Amino acid sequence: MSWLSNIPPGIKNIFKPKDDNSDALWTKCPGCGEMIFQRDLEAAHQVCPSCEHHLALGVEERLALLFDNGAYEEIDLPEPATDPLKFRDEKKYVDRLKENRRKTGQQDAMRAAHGSIDGVGVVALVQNFKFMGGSMGMALGEAMLKAAETAVEKRAPLIVFAASGGARMQEGILSLMQMPRTTIAVQMVKEAGLPYIVVLTNPTTGGVTASYAMLGDINLAEPGALIGFAGPRVIEQTIREKLPDGFQRAEFLLEKGMVDMVVSRADMKPTLSKLVRVLLKERRQPAKPAQDPAKVAKLEKPKAPTLKEEPKLDKAAE
């Protein structure tokens, strides 16, 4: 028997994994393995102070960090049909939804809100990876469409924080149909002349990467985020070759041109603020049409005004 089994329960509770919704005092960094005091980790917005590894950030914390003074108005999202395929694997899909709703306090994997960034109104969508891996289903498609309509109505940019394992298999073909639906939502925003910015967080994979997550006017990514369609293990098994170090990570994709910027969590709000202001200024002030130099040279000089001749007096009148 291992000596670890003799540790008193009180000491075990101090080092409980963060995923069990407990009040653990310490968290082990997945990047460097250092034990971080929970209060210090929360103060740093879930970023390791030693190696700057970005841990998962909750939806509420993400929205509070994004908007001015942490104030925002949540957008009511329509509810789609529940379990239209009557799907069941190890347990019923309906039961999985109930379990995840109880665990996260959300109706589904996507939340939408409206607020301001440095005084500029924006609409934001945040995926919650803790809700069935942030999987894309009918509810997510409805959330994207509703957020796009709100952005167009309020003339506000749309910002999406993506975190997903891909399409939700429990909804079958209906989940795959959300790929064109979310693309239509993005097109609505772009046709209205409004910016659409995507922030890729860890992980963003599958059908989400193949649809709205890579359609941004500008694509940002958090450091170390896993971004791709298939995972690296699947690719290695398929091509039977060893992948390079850092493959499919944000920094690797930045070198290959698939990501525009890799931005740390502390710099995310200032960066988004600058991008939103620049994009709005460019799109709201259309450029004046340039004049053809040849036509300008041929312009005639304005003629001097002609003076009217004074009427001659009659000799008899003189």
Question: Per residue in 235-285, pLDDT tens?
Answer: 999 999 999 989 999 999 999 999 999 999 999 999 999 999 999 986 665
The answer to whether 164 and 134 have CB atoms below 8 angstroms apart is yes
Q: How much is the pLDDT for 24?
A: 77
- Regarding beta strands 120-127 and 110-117, do their DSSP bridges make them parallel or antiparallel, or are they unpaired? antiparallel
More confident site: 301 or 180: 180
Task: Average the pLDDT over 118-126 and give the result.
Answer: 97
pLDDT band at 27 (very low <50, low <70, confident <90, very high): very high
Q: Which of 205, 200, 198, 197 is nearest to 164 (CA)?
A: 205
Q: Is the pLDDT of residue 318 over 50?
A: no
Task: Average the pLDDT over 91-110 and give the result.
Answer: 96
pTM: 0.82
| Cα 14 from Cα 237, distance rounded (Å) | 39
The answer to whether 87 and 99 have CB atoms below 8 angstroms apart is no
Task: Average the pLDDT over 131-144 and give the result.
Answer: 97
107: exposed, middle or buried (Cβ count in 10 Å: 0-12, 13-18, 19+): middle
Determine the distance from the C-alpha atom of residue 236 to the mean position of all C-alpha atoms in its chain, rounded to a whole number: 28
Let me know the angle formed at the C-alpha of 160 by 156 and 161, rounded to the nearest 5 degrees: 145
Cα–Cα distance list, 310 to 19, 304, 307, 314, 318 (Å): 100, 18, 9, 13, 15
pLDDT band at 6 (very low <50, low <70, confident <90, very high): low
Instruction: For residue range 145-203, list pLDDT tens digits in order.
Output: 999 999 999 999 999 999 999 999 999 999 999 999 999 999 999 999 999 999 999 99
| Cα 154 from Cα 21, distance rounded (Å) | 37
Q: Is the pLDDT of residue 112 over 60?
A: yes
Average pLDDT of the residues of the chain: 88
Scanning the chain, the segments in alpha helix (DSSP H) are 9-14, 38-43, 59-66, 93-104, 138-154, 173-176, 178-191, 206-209, 232-239, 250-256, 265-284, 293-297
Q: Is the pLDDT of residue 288 over 60?
A: no
Fold designation for 57-284: 2-enoyl-CoA Hydratase; Chain A, domain 1 (3.90.226)
Three-state DSSP at 56 gives: coil
Q: Is the pLDDT of residue 205 over 60?
A: yes
Q: How much is the pLDDT for 281?
A: 87
pLDDT band at 294 (very low <50, low <70, confident <90, very high): low
Residues of the chain with CATH 3.90.226.10: 57-284
| Cα 137 from Cα 134, distance rounded (Å) | 9
More confident site: 313 or 126: 126
Give me 7's structure tokens: 């540790």
